[in-house]
Structure 1
Amino acid sequence: MAGKYDDLTHAQLVELLEKRDRTKKLGLVWERDEIEADAAVDANFIACRIDEALSDKPAPWDNLVIEGDNFDALRWLRMTHAGRVKCIYIDPPYNTGNKDWVYNDSYMDKEDRFRQSTWLEFLYRRLTLARDLLAEDGVLLVSINDEQRAFLEMMLSEVLPGMRLGTFVWRTRKGGYDSGNFSRDHDFVLVYGKPAFEFHGTDKNRSDYSNPDNDPRGPWTDDPLQQPKTYRQRKNAVYFITDPETGIDYPPNPNRVWSVGQRGDSGLTESPWEDLLEDNLLVFKKRGQYVQYDTLDELMSAFRDKTAHKFARVDLPNIEDWVGRKIGLGSVRIKKFLKDRCDDEVNPISSLLDGITTEESLSVEVGKTTEGTREVRALFGESTFDYPKPVSLIRELVRQSSGPGDLVLDFFAGSATTAQAVMELNAEDGGSRRFIMVSSTEATDDAPDKNLCRDVTAERIRLLNASDDKKYANLAEGFAYLRTHEIAFEDLDYDLQPADAWAALEAMHDLPLTLYDGNAPWNLHEGETTALVLVDRFDPGLLEWLQGRDRQNLFVYAWAPGQIVERLDGTHVDIRPVRDTLVKRFQQ
């Protein structure tokens, strides 16, 4: 079939392309080279190598700290952790131009006319990779300031179409203000969730449930017996409900009349108030308090004096029936029992982070930036990182976004606040959340020896693990320290080290990382449900070990599978090629 452009001349095609380039599209546009961007993802292979000396606590390691460009780290993680991360929190550079962002080994110049586009493209490439890491019930949380928020939101909507849930607002400081007598002391956390994601919410407050009348159905509270209709809209809902114990009649609120009918009404679909009364479901407020108008003139006089009952109106359809009755001063409500409430019924969390609720106080205040600075100074003895987020902020976000066994990623880890938040939550509820912290060295021409990842990101976790401060008790979490390095695809057969392949395979199979034993002919990692083997060279002990093994969750890899299979003496084992497996996963 001929293409739609086959009949166009060269000049017409050029004109069509120029028109397309001139045409504005709905959304955010920035300067980018799509071909170059696509090529960058698969320009080379990324391996991660464990540095045992910089790792903390003995192996196996459930947590990872990765040193390197986060673009490279994310490419490795997409190979090893695709679809498994429950919560990604990042605090990316805000692109202020005030030495907050190292790009191409130097700080971005705020006078650069392409600064915004460079920043957007920088984040776009990384967020596109991060998208593939999210679990089906995962969420991405991104901190940003007011100046860059609009750009970032529109870009994120391109990266994650249909996933925007909203924005949290949190107060970064107190008392600050800028020009125009307008305070800019708030930052934002953008929220993008996969279809199955939900925040945990907060427990409903059940303190208003009690059982003063010893109702056999258990504790109860009372709800309104009203509907959002006025006495003019629902004239048939304007009647008295009588308390048989006191003989007092209760009129409806004329602006919100009764939501139930009375016996004799036609078309009733729910129980009339008389049945509710017999079932001991009605509650009479201000019981025993009433007013009485013995004549219509007395009632009209009360209208003129503005002392009439609060629910009285001159044009009520039953105004004459008010005469000679004891008119209750309270209202009538209906019992709602605690046993009928859903066990998982929760309140949604507010977009204002100053008021995340807890079981005890219903109001825990998220800290300001100064709290984050104090926390870093308390551990390091000095301010080693500018404007760190407070642990309380990240802790509550992670608490709401993850469960006790989930994986949390921060690929702009900075001072490792996210790692501390995860550690605090695990200490609090006994959970086994895991973290992956990615941070670069941020070395520049002016500071070639700088290593933020080693000296701040990882060091903060080490200090927490070693601290004897009571407030950090039970926080210890070991981690493997890895470095990214690039390998040309054509050089993989020679340059990919067995230890690097072992780390990637363990991560792919959701196993904690261990150190590779280069002296052993084959390495084994047996998890609770998975057995992983990497064969470097054949050894008769492998055949003996394979006898009678359950093949369902057994994964055997080798550099030259065919040669190993020949030596297995007919033992049927699926042996996968190391190089081809990793490359296929890497280029997915």
Structure 2
Amino acid sequence: MAYIDDLLARLPDTETAEEIRKELEHLRSTKTFGLVFERHRPEHVRLPGAEIRRGGQVVFRSGQDRTVYDVVTIDGDRAKLDDGSSYHVADLADLVTVVTYGQPLYPGLTSLGSTKNGPEEDLWHAVINAENLHALEALRYTHRGKVDCIYIDPPYNTGARDWRYNNDYVDNNDAHRHSKWLAFMERRLQAAKQLLNPEASVLIVTIDEKEVHRLSLLLEQHFPNTLRQMVTTVITPNGSSRPGEFNRVDEYILFVFIGSARPNPLPYDVLGKKEEQDKEEVRWPSFLRSDSSWKREKRPNLFYPLYLDTWQQKIVGAGEPLAVEAPRESVQAPQGCELIWPIRPNGQESIWRLGRDTFLNYLSKGYIRLGGNKGGRWSIYYLSKGLVQDIEVGKIVVTGRDATGAVQVEYASGKMRFPKTVWNLSDYNAGAHGRQMVGKLLPGRSFDYPKSLYAVKDALRVAVGDKPDALILDFFAGSGTTGHAVAKLNAEDGGERRFILVTNNEVGPEQGEPLRKAGLGPGDPEWEAQGIFENITRPRIEAVITGRTSEGKPVPGAYLDGSVMADGLAGNVEFFRLDYLERDRVSLGAAFSKISPLLWLKAGATGPRVDHVSPEGWALPEGSRYGVLFEPSEVSNFLEAVQASETVREVFVVTNSQATYERIVADLPAGVEPSMLYRDYLKNFEIRLDLDDELRGGPA
């Protein structure tokens, strides 16, 4: 580096030398070790259906000309375009809007309908048709730091044209295939990181051997100081044949545990045979303290006699704790009973594990069990506090009582175990519980490589099994397995977890070829009907919730736990399309109906939504989590309604005056979060961070 500095000092062009020095400083400040790759930019995506505007960018709809043009002017149905070196004129019908990564976006949402299997006031799930990087930017406004779990199944970059970069399918002939994939993933992971709860959340990414090592390094660089583990899961036990190679049977699940988050146990050993674990017996701990350090004089309140009815061979009561100085012989047994003291085999006086009152309560409930008699000493067992709690929540079920009145119990679904790093249950077979399940839900349609419902459900249970109200995001939603898994997990444990799914409406190359030959392309209704959102994700989620296929027929079959798929799964889901708004229309309040769903999502996605500007100057529907003040002059009525509400969590104040805003929010009840419209919304997207600059060491 010193020699390079000397060479730079000799350059006559000092401005060029200074620019080179800046780049060298960046290189010096970066890590010597780690994942090194080219960060391709810009990344741009087509937006079929988006309005073509002056100052925007477009490409030709046919895709043969891949040049990105600036729109100089629009005259009627024609546009003047600039490619940087010359001007061109084209019909608007031949063009499609593109957005280049880094440009400010003003997103809105349009409702495409909903499906319900629960009360209107329940939480709502959301499925969004959008380019995922743009959806992540929109969710920064609504869910920054609020997401409990992100589960994604990104493109595996197999070289088989399974994903696009800058609207081109990436295949084995692309020399930059791996660096493009890393640039593509890094931008999305960096955006997703802003959504995850820094106190406790989990990122889950599935991948195969093509990119697992690069992805692991990428996660290590962007999620330092976190617990990261990789699980190998057997998804094709018979093996996927690959000529000249090992048959592939597995793929990988990468877990990133952020903050205090740690893996939750599962009710079976993921490495074993599940059917052999379901009826595992509950182990009753000894009621006698076995540790020699626990002596009578240490806890005299735990040294008392139990009453054993010698005729019934049953514990029927207990005496009062005996003072340390009093001998055991001073206590007389009730008629027909003998006394059982907490005495170790060596004759040392010990203590029981529970106080007398708690013991009697447990005895009445059947939580105390008499064991055998060995050498004149009786064994006594009990259900610990944790096991009692498991009974209360249903993890342990009472199947009966023995002759002494003690409960007979077993685990509802096997004993809870911390999962191992290899998952090999038959439940995870992607053919039987992925492809075939999609076939039941969507007769006559197919989807390449859907995940097993149960593999995704168990991954989520590991991540948020202890959070019954968790928010789960999947921005590579594909066939919608993550949403299906959340709904099924809720049905099993009574949770109220909520999912947000994001997928675009891309048509694959095989499906798109005959459409192109017919003269159709993105934006045409026939084309869009074959896209992943319209043809797969949405109808699958609708079938999961309602139990009916798109043709109105009951979904055939049952889940592995025996529940019938035709009964549907509880939940309400709304489907959205992400739209791109004009800044001026936003600032003037003319785009409120498009921004309204974002406000609803931000406030928790439950209760009624304020979809239109209210003529009364404010809106706070009964049961809503948020209210909107459109006219500051109506602040008195609005604040009165907010103070009377038992559900409102957020309020949005429409004003351009900072002083007015501060005066209004000063009178809000504690716990109600305010936002200023449309300043906060616009600020979120205008002072957006170009993530490439951040990755190069720019401002955080």
Residue among 1, 26, 44 paired with 2:33: 26
- How high is the sequence identity, in percent, across the aligned residues? 25
List per-residue Cα deviations over 1:25-84 (Å, max 9, x = no partner).
Answer: 3111111158989x9775213323232436667966611111110000011111101112
Query: Does the aligned pair in 1 maintain the 2:586–2:678 contact within 8 Å?
Result: yes
List per-residue Cα deviations over 1:103-148 (Å, max 9, x = no partner).
Answer: 3334223311112111111111111111111122110111101121
Query: Does the aligned pair in 1 maintain the 2:206–2:253 contact within 8 Å?
Result: yes
User: Residue type of the partner of 1:426?
Assistant: N
Q: For 1:386, what is the secondary structure of its paired residue?
A: coil
Q: For 1:30, what is the secondary structure of its paired residue?
A: coil
Going from structure 1 to structure 2, the CA distance change for 1:100 and 1:216 (only over 3 Å counts) comes to: closer
Aligned mates of 1:398, 1:433 — CA distance in 2: 11
2:470 paired with 1:373: no
Matched residue, 1:46: 106
TM-score by length of 1: 0.68
Residue among 556, 579, 588 paired with 2:678: 579
Show structure 1 runs of 5+ residues with no match: 221-273, 282-334, 356-363
Going from structure 1 to structure 2, the CA distance change for 1:494 and 1:117 (only over 3 Å counts) comes to: farther
Going from structure 1 to structure 2, the CA distance change for 1:109 and 1:561 (only over 3 Å counts) comes to: same
2:574 paired with 1:510: no
Q: Displacement, 1:174?
A: 2.4
Aligned mates of 1:571, 1:531 — CA distance in 2: 19
Aligned residues: 463
List per-residue Cα deviations over 1:423-472 (Å, max 9, x = no partner).
Answer: 11122222211110100011477453142112211111112233244334
Matched residue, 1:347: 417
Matches within 5 A, 1:33-432: 43-53=103-113, 62-135=124-197, 136-176=199-239, 177-178=241-242, 182-202=246-266, 207=281, 209=283, 217=288, 277-279=346-348, 347-355=417-425, 365-402=427-464, 403-432=467-496
Query: Does the aligned pair in 2 maintain the 1:44–1:488 contact within 8 Å?
Result: no
Aligned mates of 1:119, 1:354 — CA distance in 2: 29
List per-residue Cα deviations over 1:166-192 (Å, max 9, x = no partner).
Answer: 111111212325466633211001111
Matched residue, 1:359: none
Aligned mates of 2:650, 2:665 — CA distance in 1: 18
Aligned mates of 1:428, 1:59 — CA distance in 2: 21
Going from structure 1 to structure 2, the CA distance change for 1:570 and 1:130 (only over 3 Å counts) comes to: closer
Going from structure 1 to structure 2, the CA distance change for 1:491 and 1:42 (only over 3 Å counts) comes to: farther
User: Residue type of the partner of 1:349?
Assistant: P
Aligned mates of 1:157, 1:19 — CA distance in 2: 24
Going from structure 1 to structure 2, the CA distance change for 1:466 and 1:10 (only over 3 Å counts) comes to: farther
Query: Does the aligned pair in 1 maintain the 2:165–2:180 contact within 8 Å?
Result: no
List per-residue Cα deviations over 1:189-214 (Å, max 9, x = no partner).
Answer: 11111021122214699837358xxx
The answer to which of 198-207 and 575-584 deviates more is 198-207
Aligned mates of 1:110, 1:59 — CA distance in 2: 49
The answer to which of 404-413 and 488-497 deviates more is 488-497
Q: For 1:101, what is the secondary structure of its paired residue?
A: strand
User: Residue type of the partner of 2:113?
Assistant: A
Residue among 550, 553, 561 paired with 2:643: 550
Q: For 2:577, what is the secondary structure of its paired residue?
A: strand
Matched residue, 2:542: 462
User: Residue type of the partner of 1:410?
Assistant: D
Aligned mates of 1:502, 1:139 — CA distance in 2: 29
User: Residue type of the partner of 1:29?
Assistant: V
The answer to which of 11-20 and 173-182 deviates more is 11-20
Query: Does the aligned pair in 2 maintain the 1:501–1:578 contact within 8 Å?
Result: no
Aligned mates of 1:487, 1:275 — CA distance in 2: 77
List per-residue Cα deviations over 1:393-426 (Å, max 9, x = no partner).
Answer: 1111112211321111111101101111111112
Matched residue, 2:339: none
User: Residue type of the partner of 2:281?
Assistant: S
Going from structure 1 to structure 2, the CA distance change for 1:421 and 1:10 (only over 3 Å counts) comes to: farther
The answer to which of 483-492 and 92-101 deviates more is 483-492
Q: Displacement, 1:537?
A: 4.3
Query: Does the aligned pair in 1 maintain the 2:632–2:654 contact within 8 Å?
Result: no
TM-score by length of 2: 0.58
Going from structure 1 to structure 2, the CA distance change for 1:158 and 1:486 (only over 3 Å counts) comes to: farther
Aligned mates of 2:219, 2:665 — CA distance in 1: 53
Q: For 1:158, what is the secondary structure of its paired residue?
A: helix
Give the structure with higher Rg (CA). 1
List per-residue Cα deviations over 1:459-487 (Å, max 9, x = no partner).
Answer: 11112233244334240422221222234
Q: For 2:678, what is the secondary structure of its paired residue?
A: helix
Aligned mates of 2:218, 2:584 — CA distance in 1: 35
Q: Displacement, 1:368?
A: 2.8
Aligned mates of 1:427, 1:409 — CA distance in 2: 19
Query: Does the aligned pair in 2 maintain the 1:68–1:438 contact within 8 Å?
Result: yes
Aligned mates of 2:184, 2:590 — CA distance in 1: 28
Aligned mates of 2:506, 2:665 — CA distance in 1: 54
2:546 paired with 1:453: no
Q: For 2:643, what is the secondary structure of its paired residue?
A: coil
List per-residue Cα deviations over 1:486-505 (Å, max 9, x = no partner).
Answer: 34556642586112222222
Aligned mates of 1:20, 1:546 — CA distance in 2: 52
Matched residue, 2:579: 485
Q: For 1:100, what is the secondary structure of its paired residue?
A: strand
List per-residue Cα deviations over 1:244-265 (Å, max 9, x = no partner).
Answer: xxxxxxxxxxxxxxxxxxxxxx
Query: Does the aligned pair in 2 maintain the 1:87–1:140 contact within 8 Å?
Result: yes
Q: For 1:45, what is the secondary structure of its paired residue?
A: coil
Q: For 1:79, what is the secondary structure of its paired residue?
A: helix
User: Residue type of the partner of 1:209?
Assistant: R
Which protein, 1 or 2, shows the higher relative CO under an 8 Å CA cutoff with sep ≥ 6?
Answer: 1
Going from structure 1 to structure 2, the CA distance change for 1:125 and 1:336 (only over 3 Å counts) comes to: farther
Going from structure 1 to structure 2, the CA distance change for 1:517 and 1:504 (only over 3 Å counts) comes to: closer
Going from structure 1 to structure 2, the CA distance change for 1:578 and 1:95 (only over 3 Å counts) comes to: same
Q: For 1:161, what is the secondary structure of its paired residue?
A: coil
Aligned mates of 1:341, 1:406 — CA distance in 2: 26
Aligned mates of 1:91, 1:97 — CA distance in 2: 16
Q: For 2:594, what is the secondary structure of its paired residue?
A: helix
Going from structure 1 to structure 2, the CA distance change for 1:278 and 1:347 (only over 3 Å counts) comes to: farther
User: Residue type of the partner of 1:427?
Assistant: A
List per-residue Cα deviations over 1:84-118 (Å, max 9, x = no partner).
Answer: 21111111011112131133334223311112111
Aligned mates of 2:431, 2:500 — CA distance in 1: 23
